[in-house]
Chains A and B, each alone.
Chain A
Amino acid sequence: AQSVTQPDIHITVSEGASLELRCNYSYGATPYLFWYVQSPGQGLQLLLKYFSGDTLVQGIKGFEAEFKRSQSSFNLRKPSVHWSDAAEYFCAVGAGSGGYQKVTFGTGTKLQVIP
């Protein structure tokens, strides 16, 4: 069975600083990988996804992530954080079988942005 580890429960960055959120996954085959963001009281919004091809994936809101098979990682990055980026971020891995994605989420990283 697949699993996801997000080692950082909480991260604080200054507005304008760069950001990297870590994600490690465990899955026997080539994974489908996702990053979602959740603001308080809101549902999950997809930031980006990796299925195949280029290992550097561009997403919405200026986010990008890099798939590194050798490290089983899919870290999320943003060069300059905005106050509106404060939210909880979830990395997820999908096992595609039977025509659907059974998605397993990490426990999330809560991002605080300070002025």
Chain B
Amino acid sequence: GAGVSQSPRYKVAKRGQDVALRCDPISGHVSLFWYQQALGQGPEFLTYFQNEAQLDKSGLPSDRFFAERPEGSVSTLKIQRTQQEDSAVYLCASSSGLAADTQYFGPGTRLTVL
């Protein structure tokens, strides 16, 4: 079966541009997570969705970051007015919805802000 997919795989943006990163979770997975992985670091939690509800956005670094999952499936992470410090790999993960379930990760989107 298909895993978590993300698009685009690579994105180059000029500082100040808006970007949108897409995540397609595993079909039927209730939970969806976004992480940010800076160069040389481990992933850091950004936000969590249960179906279409965003239940935790405590990791979003600023109000320029916005995530949505309007139909409880595909999710989009949007970054407005990108800054150089936003350069990172953005990882999406999904799980079945049980607290003890494994999170399955996508390949990530590498964002470079010039």
A residues bordering B, Cβ < 8 Å? 4, 32, 36, 41-46, 49, 51, 90, 92, 96-108
| Distance to closest chain B CB from A92 (angstroms) | 8
Partner of B99, one of A4, A90, A101: A101
**Is residue B7 contacting chain A, with contact meaning CB distance below 8 A?**
no
Is B50 touching A99 in the complex (CB atoms < 8 A)?
Answer: yes
What B residues does A103 contact at CB under 8 A? Answer: 33, 45, 103
- Which of under 10, 10 to 19, 20 to 34, or 35 or more describes the interface residues of B? 20 to 34
Chain B 19-62, CB-CB to A under 8 Å as 1, else 0, gives 00000000000010100000011111100101000011000000
What B residues does A106 contact at CB under 8 A? Answer: 42
Contacts A44-B91, A105-B44; A99 near B106 (Cβ below 8 A): no
Contacts A44-B43, A102-B45, A108-B42; A51 near B105 (Cβ below 8 A): no
Contacts A42-B107, A43-B107, A102-B48; A96 near B41 (Cβ below 8 A): no
B residues bordering A, Cβ < 8 Å? 4, 31, 33, 40-45, 48, 50, 55-56, 91, 93, 95, 97-108
Q: Is the interface of A mostly helix, strand, loop or mixed?
A: strand
18 contacts between A and B (CB under 8 A): A41-B107, A43-B4, A44-B105, A46-B104, A49-B102, A51-B100, A96-B100, A99-B98, A100-B97, A100-B99, A101-B103, A102-B48, A103-B33, A103-B45, A103-B103, A106-B42, A107-B40, A107-B42
Is B41 touching A107 in the complex (CB atoms < 8 A)?
Answer: yes
What A residues does B98 contact at CB under 8 A? Answer: 99
What B residues does A102 contact at CB under 8 A? Answer: 45, 48, 56
